Structure 1
Amino acid sequence: MNNKATNACHLPELKSGEISFQPGRIFWATLVRELNLALRRRSDLINPLVFFLMVATLFPLGVSPEPSVLSTLAPGVVWVAALLATLLSLDSLFRSDFDDGSLEQMLLSPQPLFVVVLGKVLAHWLLTGLPLTLMAPLLAVMLFLPAEGMWGLMLSLLLGTPTLSLIGAIGAALTVGLRKGGVLLSLLVLPLYIPVLIFGTAAVEAAVTGLPLGGFLALLGALLAAGLALSPLAIAAGLRISVSG
């Protein structure tokens, strides 16, 4: 069996008389498929994490090794590193499905495309955003972030990184049909990342200074809720445009 057959999209088959709209079953099948495929492409999992670690390691060499300077810049550095590491992994989100024809099967399938898209985005976050969130305290210690800011950092990343995946998936869907769409993907997505970056960094800084951070976390939660409501439809539309174009 060739690679194309191996990577093909396997959505649950429906029996005669069975209702086609089974979002839970479709979502779970897509999520499991994406996680299994990711285990075969381990370099795609490791590269964003290595990049995240390298940014925090090299940054003191280019600025100053003084703890007072690094602790002030730590919230922004960790958040920018997480943002760029997420962006690094987005180009491959739909690329293999487009190359082997699985994406066309998804579009022709009677199952709702937005449910499949949500499963793929959740898999992307579990493989990229969640590991980055778990690694963040280590990088924060390297940058001398005060202990008071650790929980703010973790909570802001936990709310912000799923939004990064949802927004980034829109750009990935629009550029998947382009041979070298990485640069265009960055140009499309980076401006939309700015609110998440601002509120995420502000939440960490508020935690460090002892100010209430609930407002910033609420804003991040609102962005996440808006992303969950709107981005699957936008991603599905982007995929249809890319395949038909």
Structure 2
Amino acid sequence: MALRDLRLAWRRRIEALLPLVFFLVAASLFPLGVGPEAQTLQQIGGGVVWVCALLSAMLSLGALYTSDHADGTLEQMVLSSDSLVLMAAGKALAHWVLTGLPLILAAPLLGLFFGLSMPAVGALLMGLLLGTPVLSLLGGVGAALTLGLRSAGVLVLLLVLPLCIPVLIFGTGAVSAVDAGLAPSGHLSILAALLLVSALGAPVATAAALRISLG
């Protein structure tokens, strides 16, 4: 399922790159709004990168199941003998590869752009590596619950954003801890726990939501 979604995204490469472009442009605008003072940029850099990463990941959630639902493929997936839970996990994996992984690769550049130290950039990368899969997993639940509804994109944001606040808090906290001379291990451990809980529960919840939406 993940490979299928990646092949489909390769045919729409420009559309697949939109979250990354939004991430880079949105983060680059903050210095223009708050001023070029190095200390201020360093203080807000971790939070800015995380907020932009969260919003970028949300951009493509509305279309996660929409195209498969429109052409009848999703109904065939539900009726097939294959595990719907594994299918949901595969689609979340593909979403992370297309959105989360490019953000992780671009984050060091933005971290240095905001004047973060190398240890802070390392904490930022580790936080994104643990946190962005959670965004994709929780986003899959929201996309399945709003499948076929009007203004589904807005509803996904309203459902998923509150659930992603802990990821944002602890991801930003890891960077702030490094800047304060503390170890970021506590924040990263909580992100790892959130990832574990999401990986175990989100695909099951997504499969149940798909059955409800198509029922």
Indicate whether the TM-score tops 0.5: yes
Q: Which residue pairs with 1:37 in the alignment?
A: 8
Name the CA distance, whole Å, in 2 between partners of 1:58 and 1:214: 30
Counterparts in 2 of 1:39-118, with a 5 A limit? 39-118=10-89
Q: CA deviation at 1:106?
A: 0.8
The SS at the match of 1:91 is: helix
Q: Offset of 1:173 from its aligned partner?
A: 0.7
Determine if contact 2:144/2:210 at 8 Å carries over to the other structure.
yes
Aligned-residue identity in percent: 55
Measured in 2, the distance between the counterparts of 1:72 and 1:33 equals 41
The letter of the residue matching 2:3 is: V
Deviates more, 1:79-88 or 1:52-61: 52-61
1:117-173: CA deviations, max 9, x gaps?
111111110111011011001111121222220110000000000001001111011
Give the drift of 1:44: 2.7
The AA in structure 1 aligned to 2:75 is E
In structure 2, list runs of 5 or more residues that go unmatched: none
Q: Is the deviation greater in 166-175 or in 138-147?
A: 138-147
Show the counterpart of 1:241.
Answer: 212
1:110 counterpart SS class? coil
Q: Within 2, Cα distance between the matches of 1:85 and 1:59? A: 15
Structure 1: stretches of 5+ with no match in the other structure = 1-29
Q: TM-score with structure 2 length normalisation?
A: 0.97
Report the Cα distance in structure 1 between the residues aligned to 2:37 and 2:111, rounded to whole angstroms. 14
TM score, norm. by length of structure 1: 0.86
Which whole-Å CA distance do the structure 2 matches of 1:194 and 1:31 have between them? 26
Retained in 2: the 8 A contact 1:170–1:231? yes
- Kept in 1, the 8 Å contact 2:61–2:139? The answer is yes
Residue equivalent to 1:173: 144
Tell me by how many angstroms 1:210 deviates.
Answer: 2.3
Quote the offset at 1:43 in angstroms. 2.5
Q: CA deviation at 1:239?
A: 1.0
Alignment match, 1:12? none
Contact (CA 8 Å) 1:160, 1:224: kept in 2 or not?
yes
Q: Which has the higher helix share?
A: 2
Alignment of structure 1 residues 186-205 onto 2, 5 Å: 186-205=157-176
Q: Which of 133, 145, 154 is the matching residue for 1:183?
A: 154
Contact 2:112 2:121 in 1 (8 A): no
Amino acid at match of 1:83: L
Q: Give 1:3's aligned residue.
A: none
Runs of at least 4 residues of structure 1 off by over 3 A? Answer: none
Structure possessing the higher radius of gyration over alpha carbons: 1
- Give the equivalent residue in structure 2 for 1:125: 96
Once superposed, what is the RMSD of the aligned Cα atoms?
1.0
